[in-house]
Structure 1
């Protein structure tokens, strides 16, 4: 039946024919309905493509069965269930509290539907960006949905947390994966319960969903059949063009790293140079992200001769590379080259995250060799050496998971970058997974150009032998914290022998290297340690230039007590960046001023290429 046929039928259609305004409204509504219907058909077609792609991938896999429980959580939850049933009183009490809260919510919601004011029964935690849209509060229905979810989430997590008798490992697992489950069920993640997505779908007649499925297909294609969510506009950035642009030269390279010497910006510099070891889990340019965010540029401006290690992105030839190899051919070799270029014995060094962990072992190694004076001072950024309280990452490390991980790495000889990136993203799934599912797939928006997320997506592969050693000896067995617990290059490592003056930074909200875990370094080293707690997390807690005037930091001049809580009781809070505090500390250890050094001037170490060099541009498998 055509539109004209419908308009000539009896009843309301005849009235439309007599009223041009009504007829125009009918045409407009019918066009919108047709557009929405057509877009829903396109959504169905795109969805079929996704299903076909999944089936194809399963067939190409040769019928291999996936691991039933890849994260080894089944046993932990079975134990949780058994202990819940053995003492149901706690569960019943939480259920009664939830029922009472729901009754209060029904009452306050009824008042709101009647136009009355009513205080919320529960509100999102500060910083919860899932419900920042005004519609979650101003619309009574969505406010009810939001509060219902928050009450249920609180009840579930509280019920799990109050179960007694779980061992420490199982406790971490059930707490972590319960949080993952609760975050996945957030109403913000579903079309029909997210007011912003509903509004966009109706206003765009479903075009957003079509675009979203196109984004998902592109992400699946880029991930080789696995969902590789694009977090930012990758075309907006280029290493060496608008990120990692501090001027300098690559003055040395071997199979493990390139060494960058940055050009001075002052006529005179401190005699003792500064050598930075970034983590090889990520690219070094987090410390040289943009001109305004660059720690490198800032340190150069303070009069330091700055050297940066740019690690290789390893391939299968690195399969048997060990932690000792990274120390010998990485840390110690870079130290040797900087000594040769500057003619200085006693370098100031910085180690970030895992590179700081190895730096601590290298200091103990040098002490055992009678060469402790080669390092004048050591700065540790978000570095763990005692992994007893290593946080949520330890959830992924047990015997069964290490065996599965080893099997995954056998074929290639390394853990591909996307696997590690996924693990890190799970630690903050609300911000780093679900927010992009909503933005990219449901709202159909293009990822926003964001330099930090570009760096976060530019991750690296990890050699099999080194990675298994790190997870087993340190995360699982915590042997680095034990005197002689690990051996590197024939030397038993004892961190108690480290007397090198140290500056230790931790992030108050760090989800990768928890602050209380980082703090333990103060109880292991024998030398003077200045501990500083920075506001924010693993990245923003480090990359916080003074010009930004963001966050804060805490210091305590007393000898570090046994625990972070005790340290914090007497700590003094300071606004803004901690970088000037570090500069005040390092300046007294950097020596007198000498004429600035030009990269590539040393005859034995001429410039190979401009910074940032080739190694940093090699992409991982992710």
Structure 2
């Protein structure tokens, strides 16, 4: 038994007066809020939620099943009523006797870590009833049987979004942390929070995009992306950076690394301690990295062909010219790994042997299973995206960023919003979150090509995808390759990556599963001795069997990859300076494209 002692700070008349003074400051901020919302740039409403037909179908099925089996519905309702009445009765008892019965276990949830959720009858009732409601909704969705598997998955996802959105921690009147801080600071935390809210809205043309990191703490090229190098080539699609050597000799075969163009390349060069780019140069390799353009509406007709022709093929050719070699080793990360696979298939059909080996980081090539993106890859959302990009010329970066964030909404949406807008806190100085918020637009044609042809129709892994006059299939990918995937990756699930690699035509294939997720599993330097990895040379079995029979290794996968790459990188030659007479330095790394504002 615990007593519900008053845990709020003592409130004096002086506190109340200062609180009133602070509240008057809200008027000025409210005017700014109205102004920014009035000037908000509209976007396609279909991007804000699923077509209502989904809920209509679910409701029809639910009530049809209830009609056929009313006992099932009654059982669920009676259980819900019983728990609700018990919650209320316990709260009444606690208020009467001044004590809270803490013998009833409630599900662990870090959102409710404040002791008042357990000891204060008011907050305890709110928490209990919220969790009772959440359980009832989850059970109701789970009981809908006669529904298409994709619709069932979408219904489950969006119902969970509603549950998370309605959490009492998201509202000032039912958040003890925010209320306590408001009283302690005499309302200043709320003033600061409203200032943060208005500033975020103003920074995004009225769209609410929660700032995750303190932007004033970082500068690309200042304390991020600082590995020395030069931009030695530039076209409308990319800047090609050649990094300065860190050893006296280097392997003859250079590396060309293609990062995703949804985010910026410097995730691989955040700081010296975890920079893959710096580490590669220290192992004795000549490294080229593509920095993609952040497209504006003039790129509306830019498609996957342009990324291949003016990105992948152009970068490979320039690296060959500068290093005076016939082949390079290529790396593709995420969507760039998907596109590198398309490029390999194209080069196979053209008889072009410029790539000696390929490394894929978290790259999907078989989209027969859409994983956690299933809710967003159905026609209602894709139709909405197509309508949006037709009007705008690009898929604006905040739309893609918002979609990614809502896959982890508690950590990337609601938690940061509470700290910023209700608690009035400055976002943390966290480089990874800064990078996460530094997104890029996607050209209209490219976005639709990718979503329709690859994600929805899965053409590359099935009958083939038409690109640049060729029909490309996974079987065309036949160079030696290593695929690095991540065990808890929610963007490119490792089992889905595995299925694509199995279908590739390469006779030499190495598959690795790193612990952790899409970013931490890749940006995993050996010095941290943090996440381990799994290997298994047998790629004939299904994914579950592969993992069950795999060997686990402590620490980063970087060293085993480098050992694999070394065998395919030729003899040692004198270290190369950046560029040559026909490819002079155009700018120091990290270049100009990575910091350019496409809206200017």
Using the size of structure 1 for normalisation, the TM-score is 0.87
- Preserved CA contact (<8 Å) 1:244 1:288: yes
Which one of the candidate residues 265, 272, 286 is aligned to 1:291?
272
The aligned residue for residue 414 of structure 2 is: 434
The aligned residue for residue 297 of structure 2 is: 316
The aligned residue for residue 568 of structure 1 is: 547
**In the alignment, structure 1 residue 367 sits paired with structure 2 residue 348:** yes
CA distance 1:100–1:300, change in 2 (3 Å): farther
The 5 Å alignment of 1:152-163 reads 152-163=133-144
Which one of the candidate residues 276, 283, 288 is aligned to 2:257?
276
The aligned residue for residue 448 of structure 2 is: 468
The aligned residue for residue 13 of structure 1 is: none
Gaps of 5+ in 1: 1-24
Between the aligned partners of 2:128 and 2:283, the Cα distance in structure 1 is 51
- Preserved CA contact (<8 Å) 2:502 2:539: no
Between the aligned partners of 2:139 and 2:190, the Cα distance in structure 1 is 36
The 5 Å alignment of 1:167-182 reads 167-182=148-163
The aligned residue for residue 107 of structure 2 is: 122
Gaps of 5+ in 2: 1-8
Which one of the candidate residues 20, 31, 38 is aligned to 2:21?
38
**In the alignment, structure 1 residue 508 sits paired with structure 2 residue 493:** no
Per-residue deviation, 1:310: 0.6
Per-residue deviation, 1:610: 1.0
**In the alignment, structure 1 residue 330 sits paired with structure 2 residue 315:** no
Moved more, 248-257 or 524-533: 524-533
Partner SS for 1:87 = helix
The aligned residue for residue 5 of structure 2 is: none
The aligned residue for residue 497 of structure 1 is: 476
Between the aligned partners of 1:530 and 1:132, the Cα distance in structure 2 is 44
Q: C-alpha deviations, 1:579-603, integer Å up to 9, x for none? A: 2232232222222222211112x22
Partner SS for 2:368 = coil
- Preserved CA contact (<8 Å) 1:416 1:621: no
Per-residue deviation, 1:416: 1.7
The aligned residue for residue 372 of structure 2 is: 392
- Preserved CA contact (<8 Å) 1:233 1:449: yes
Moved more, 532-541 or 566-575: 566-575
Per-residue deviation, 1:32: 0.8
**In the alignment, structure 1 residue 404 sits paired with structure 2 residue 384:** yes
Partner SS for 1:351 = strand
When the two chains are superposed, the root-mean-square deviation of aligned CA atoms in Å is 2.7
CA distance 1:541–1:199, change in 2 (3 Å): same
Between the aligned partners of 1:582 and 1:94, the Cα distance in structure 2 is 53
Using the size of structure 2 for normalisation, the TM-score is 0.90
- Preserved CA contact (<8 Å) 1:458 1:620: no
The aligned residue for residue 6 of structure 2 is: none
Partner SS for 2:392 = coil
The aligned residue for residue 614 of structure 1 is: 592
Per-residue deviation, 1:336: 0.9
**Number of aligned pairs?**
584
Moved more, 502-511 or 34-43: 34-43
CA distance 1:162–1:306, change in 2 (3 Å): farther
The aligned residue for residue 424 of structure 1 is: 404
Moved more, 489-498 or 167-176: 167-176
Q: C-alpha deviations, 1:117-142, integer Å up to 9, x for none? A: 62614223xxxx43344554566754
Which one of the candidate residues 41, 57, 60 is aligned to 2:39?
57
- Preserved CA contact (<8 Å) 1:534 1:541: yes
Between the aligned partners of 1:503 and 1:95, the Cα distance in structure 2 is 53
**In the alignment, structure 1 residue 254 sits paired with structure 2 residue 235:** yes
**In the alignment, structure 1 residue 595 sits paired with structure 2 residue 574:** yes
- Preserved CA contact (<8 Å) 1:104 1:121: no
Moved more, 528-537 or 276-285: 528-537
Between the aligned partners of 1:165 and 1:545, the Cα distance in structure 2 is 48
- Preserved CA contact (<8 Å) 1:288 1:295: yes
Per-residue deviation, 1:274: 1.2
Partner SS for 1:238 = coil
Per-residue deviation, 1:239: 1.0
**In the alignment, structure 1 residue 217 sits paired with structure 2 residue 198:** yes
Which one of the candidate residues 237, 244, 247 is aligned to 2:225?
244
- Preserved CA contact (<8 Å) 1:459 1:619: no
- Preserved CA contact (<8 Å) 1:76 1:174: yes
Q: C-alpha deviations, 1:561-587, integer Å up to 9, x for none? A: 23x222221123333322223223222
Between the aligned partners of 1:405 and 1:34, the Cα distance in structure 2 is 50
Per-residue deviation, 1:399: 3.2
Partner SS for 1:324 = helix
Between the aligned partners of 1:69 and 1:382, the Cα distance in structure 2 is 26
Partner SS for 1:304 = coil
CA distance 1:620–1:255, change in 2 (3 Å): closer
The aligned residue for residue 131 of structure 2 is: 150
- Preserved CA contact (<8 Å) 1:251 1:607: yes
Between the aligned partners of 2:283 and 2:117, the Cα distance in structure 1 is 48
